[in-house]
């Protein structure tokens, strides 16, 4: 069967009135920027792009208080440059920048807001493990000419589109705009993304979970109970053995779940609470786009206490607990948290 390119797919979706021309063009621009990030990432040590950003012993620290990798900065700049002149955006927001960046005055502005984590999992870059870009697209509120932080603070249900690109053995784009979740694989010879899976479905049940077990002693009681039951295997209350995977790149873990099922957890824990935080992962440009993608594939995404896409944001870089993947497992873990909260009164 003739391969379907991303552009052809987007034109088909425009004809189906699933997406408009401006959003379709914006997605193409983001996808093209991610191809450039793939080139930079794939150079590895040969590209002089590994290691920490900053000069000498003065590391470059981002708004999260994290030392930036050179590729964090490069990826962020590629996305900003690619989206400055297109005319589809009012502003961009990034994990790497404290405040939103408006579109420069010399370029026309559009009606969309783009949020991204330019290179998620960057701690894995120097050890050549898959990393990725995560993005989310919102509508800029009508009448807003200078988009500010408060204009980005919309719930996940308001997203017009969301996606990620995983830079792994293959460069793969996964995308949703509310009509299913679809996968495109980069044909490096042609330089275009080609549809490789249409309307992906996350299996309802799973026997594979993803969590950073080194935090186990810090978890809340319901999380200890839930994971303890998985570890008890077929002789335990779940009556079956479970496998565990943890890449420490959310895009890689989520892509595995979309490909063969599974459930991912980054729960609230005592270590996170001690820092005055409300979670590890960021709501606006990690949890929300991944939740949209997973729900459109028939899975579930929650904090253990509420649906992620329903959260009304209060800050651009706010963090949330994340349970996502197999709907059945997200429900079991969430039920244990509701029971514990109820018992606590
Ligand atoms: P930990 C990467 O830094 C990230 O934001 C996600 O991609 C990943 O799932 C998580 O943090 C890994 O966290 O505590 O295991 O290093």
Please tell me if the CB atom of residue 267 comes closer than 6 angstroms to any atom of ligand 1. no
CA of 111 to the centre of ligand 1 (A): 32
**pTM, whole model, 2 decimals?**
0.96
Query: Ligand 1: which of 248, 269, 288 to mutate, most ligand atoms within 8 Å of CB?
Result: 248
Q: Where in the chain is the domain with CATH 3.30.540.10?
A: 6-197
Q: How far is CA 146 from CA 151, 287, 298, in A?
A: 9, 26, 37
Q: Which CATH superfamily is domain 6-197 in?
A: Fructose-1,6-Bisphosphatase, subunit A, domain 1 (3.30.540.10)
Decide if 94 contacts 77 (C-beta within 8 A): no
- Tell which residue, 16, 69, 15, has the closest CA to residue 47: 69
pLDDT of residue 196: 98
Q: Please report the sign of the dihedral spanned by the C-alpha atoms of residue 152, residue 266, residue 324, residue 173.
A: positive
Query: Ligand 1: which of 95, 132, 266, 277 to mutate, most ligand atoms within 8 Å of CB?
Result: 266
Judging by DSSP bridges, how do beta strands 208-210 and 243-244 pair with one another? Answer: parallel
Please tell me if the CB atom of residue 123 comes closer than 6 angstroms to any atom of ligand 1. yes
pLDDT of residue 56: 63
Closest residue to atom 16 of ligand 1, CA basis: 248
Strands (E), the chain: 54-55, 58-59, 89-94, 101-102, 112-120, 131-139, 161-167, 171-176, 181-187, 192-197, 208-210, 243-244, 263-266, 281-282, 300-302, 319-320, 322-325
List, for residues 194-244, the tens digit of each pLDDT value: 999 999 999 989 999 999 999 999 999 999 999 999 999 999 999 999 999
Please tell me if the CB atom of residue 254 comes closer than 6 angstroms to any atom of ligand 1. no
Closest residue to atom 3 of ligand 1, CA basis: 121
CA of 206 to the centre of ligand 1 (A): 22
Closest residue to atom 12 of ligand 1, CA basis: 248
pLDDT of residue 49: 72
Q: Where in the chain is the domain with CATH 3.40.190.80?
A: 208-344
Please tell me if the CB atom of residue 212 comes closer than 6 angstroms to any atom of ligand 1. yes
pLDDT of residue 344: 79
Closest residue to atom 10 of ligand 1, CA basis: 248
Strands (E), 127-275: 131-139, 161-167, 171-176, 181-187, 192-197, 208-210, 243-244, 263-266
Please tell me if the CB atom of residue 121 comes closer than 6 angstroms to any atom of ligand 1. yes
CA of 212 to the centre of ligand 1 (A): 9
CATH number given to 208-344: 3.40.190.80
Kindly give the parts of the chain with pLDDT less than 70: 56-57
pLDDT of residue 74: 93
């Amino acid at each position: 069967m003739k391969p379907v390119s991303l552009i052809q797919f987007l034109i088909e979706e425009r004809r189906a009135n699933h997406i408009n021309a401006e959003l379709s063009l914006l997605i193409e621009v983001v996808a093209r920027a991610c191809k450039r990030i793939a080139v930079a990432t794939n150079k590895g040590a040969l590209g002089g792009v590994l290691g920490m950003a900053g000069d000498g012993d003065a590391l470059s620290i981002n708004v999260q208080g994290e030392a930036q990798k050179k590729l964090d900065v490069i990826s962020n700049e590629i996305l900003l440059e690619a989206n400055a002149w297109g005319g589809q955006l009012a502003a961009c927001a990034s994990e790497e920048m404290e405040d939103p960046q408006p579109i420069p005055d010399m370029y026309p502005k559009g009606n969309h807001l783009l949020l991204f984590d330019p290179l998620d999992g960057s701690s894995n870059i120097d050890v050549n493990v898959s990393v990725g870009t995560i993005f989310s697209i919102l509508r800029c509120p009508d009448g807003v000419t200078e988009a500010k932080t408060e204009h980005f603070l919309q719930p996940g249900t308001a997203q017009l589109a969301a996606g990620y690109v995983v830079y792994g053995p293959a460069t793969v784009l996964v995308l949703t705009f509310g009509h299913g979740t679809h996968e495109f694989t980069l044909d490096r010879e042609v330089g275009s993304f080609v549809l490789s899976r249409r309307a992906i479905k996350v299996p309802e049940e799973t026997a594979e979970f993803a969590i950073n077990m080194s935090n186990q002693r810090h978890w809340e009681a319901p999380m200890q109970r839930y994971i303890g039951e998985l570890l008890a295997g077929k002789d335990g209350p779940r009556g079956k053995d479970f496998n565990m995977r943890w890449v420490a790149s959310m895009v890689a873990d989520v892509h595995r779940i979309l490909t063969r099922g599974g459930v991912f957890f980054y729960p609230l824990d005592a270590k996170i609470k001690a820092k005055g935080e409300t979670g590890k992962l960021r709501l606006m440009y990690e949890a929300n786009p991944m939740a949209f993608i997973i729900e459109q594939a028939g899975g579930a995404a929650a904090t253990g206490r509420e649906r992620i896409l329903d959260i009304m944001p209060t800050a651009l870089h706010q963090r949330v607990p994340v349970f996502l993947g197999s709907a059945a497992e997200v429900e079991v873990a969430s039920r244990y948290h509701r029971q514990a909260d109820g018992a606590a009164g």
